[in-house]
Chain A
Amino acid sequence: MAVPETDAPPAGPGDPSVVVSHVDITYRVYGSGVDAQEDEESALRRLLTRGTRGMGVREVPAVRDVSFVAHRGESIGIIGRNGSGKSTLLRSIAGLVPPTAGSIWLGGRAALLGVGAVLLPKLSGRRNVMIGAQAMGLSPREVRDRMEEIVDFADIGRFIDLPMNSYSSGMAARLRFAISTAVVPDILVVDEALATGDAAFRERAQERIEQIRREAGTIFVVSHNSGTITEMCTRALWMDHGRLVADGVPGPVVGLYSRKYGKYRERWDQARIVGSDVGPEDDVPPAGAAGGTSGRR
């Protein structure tokens, strides 16, 4: 079921459009030096004895040694629990967060569509369209020409001239979607943005995504809804604790995922205890999956 990335011509629908090779992404987190469980006395002692280490910087590995190749025309769903590194990996693929180690190659322009992707909240929707669309490579004239189209698609009416911090979350999400897809990107990265918005908009968004895919783009979708992934995607990646643990056809990957974290997760744990050669810390699912977990810990 897995799609092996061999050097041979890709088995996927088209040429490679994203090559991710041994990518690590480590965040620096500040002000996290003191453990939560520590009592006040020892915290004080620590402050006195170790000086600034008490307020230190902690490095949080968000993505560890992830590798895969994506092809044109593929839509790839990424599943994983909160904090498993999905969003970070996607931001890196969109060229927004540089990887700490490893390399990412892209064929063309990438656009990120994320819930948290705030533009400039104090500015009007119109100015945000201007800035967002220009950052995606349109000239000021092209943006003006397409402004109405973008506003229509977002369907936010006269709110377009009000500051974005006065928008409802659904409106903001719609406008961001309209901006991100104003230029048909070669690689579209959708970070749980489809969950917001009403049914009518979701349908239009789905349509736009399908259109991008038909134009031989590559699409990445993060969703907690396994239904969305099996419906929309041609391939699924499962991220767990920053590692890629499964890569393959959506059905089986989503199946494995829900077997581990879904309703019947105790059975997974029991199964692991029985098959004790798989260590308790090892997250590699038993059924064949190509991923970046081989022995690096």
Chain B
Amino acid sequence: MLSAEEAAALARRHGLRQVGLRPTLPAYLRDVWGHRHLMWSMAKGEFLSQHQDNYLGILWAVINPILLGVSYYLIFGVLLDLRRDVENFVSFLTIGLFTFTLISAALTSGSKAVLGKVGMMRALSFPRVLLPVVVVLAELVSSLPAFAVLLGIAVVSGEPVTLKWLLFPVSLVIVSVMGLGMSMIAARVVHAWRDTANLVPLLVRLLRYVSGVFFSIPARLAAVDGVPVVVSVALQYQPAAVALDVVRETLMASYPLQWQTWTAASGWALLFLVGGFLLFWRGEGTYGRA
């Protein structure tokens, strides 16, 4: 029998490639690029399997957030009277809700992206980072009809259509990139410590409440005395909060474009993307064994 060194030498002499290892970063990026067609096919498949099990299919991607919007409007807007802080509460709420739905979907399905696909991983070999990427792509495509409806709601609720609406798709790209990063992080963390899967719903709910989905953060902060600066900055500039603001700024007249929001949002998106990719890549060579 060969020793480990002899085996390595033999493999090298015959030009064999070692498998089950973490590839170098450039090799991994090349591998991902080489599998881009597979990525699209998988995203399409993911999208179809999500929506084909019921009669209304993708319509649910529109109906759900609208129903949620109506109930939030009644509870938070009317009952708790949070609409007094905002000029156009309907637009404010629906933009917040639809955008947040994308973020929460990225986090939730990202956390299941690897562990839920063990069967597929044991059948096909591809760079595993495709798994969290594919679920976010599928979520993004599913949410496009909802975002189209969002434009309609903005017009009907009285927002003027201006040139800055052209930035709306850009803002969605920023939010999606942020979601992509979050998805990769969630996928790796839950794969490494699967108990953390139980914390994901909690995290999503917490984010939903603190990120200003249904209330204006600055207005609420102003209403409370003696909030430390650190807390108020953290609340306003945490990733989910700026993600909602950046979308609102493209559609709502009462929210002018601000470079601070856009810088913060792009910064977070880039940080999550690069950080998430590196984190996921570091775990390559362990996926599939758990």
Contact = CB atoms under 8 A, between A and B. Distances in A.
Contacts of B15: 107
Contacts of A130: 41
B4 interface: yes
The majority secondary structure among interface residues of chain A is mixed
Given A7-B2, A127-B44, A116 B122 contact: yes
Contacts of A98: 19-21, 285-289
A117 B122 contact: yes
Contacts of B120: 118-120
Given A131-B42, A140-B37, A105 B16 contact: yes
A296 B48 CA distance: 50
A28 B19 contact: no
Interface string A83-126: 00000000110111111101111110010101011111011000
Interface stretch (B70-78, B123-131, B135-143): B123-131
B2 A97 contact: no
A106 B17 contact: yes
A127 B48 contact: yes
A22 interface: yes
Given A19-B11, A106-B16, A97 B289 contact: yes
A25 B122 CA distance: 14
B225 interface: no
Interface residues of A, number: 55
A123 B48 contact: yes
Nearest to A87: B122
A28 B289 contact: yes
A260 B20 CA distance: 33
Given A7-B10, A120-B120, A122-B48, A127 B41 contact: yes
A28 B10 CA distance: 32
A17 interface: yes
A134 interface: yes
Interface in B99-120: 119-120
B97 to A, nearest CB: 28
B1 A292 contact: yes
26 contacts: A5-B1, A7-B2, A17-B16, A19-B2, A19-B16, A21-B2, A25-B289, A69-B7, A91-B122, A94-B125, A95-B20, A96-B121, A96-B124, A103-B18, A105-B8, A106-B16, A106-B17, A110-B19, A114-B122, A119-B120, A120-B49, A122-B53, A130-B41, A134-B41, A136-B124, A163-B52
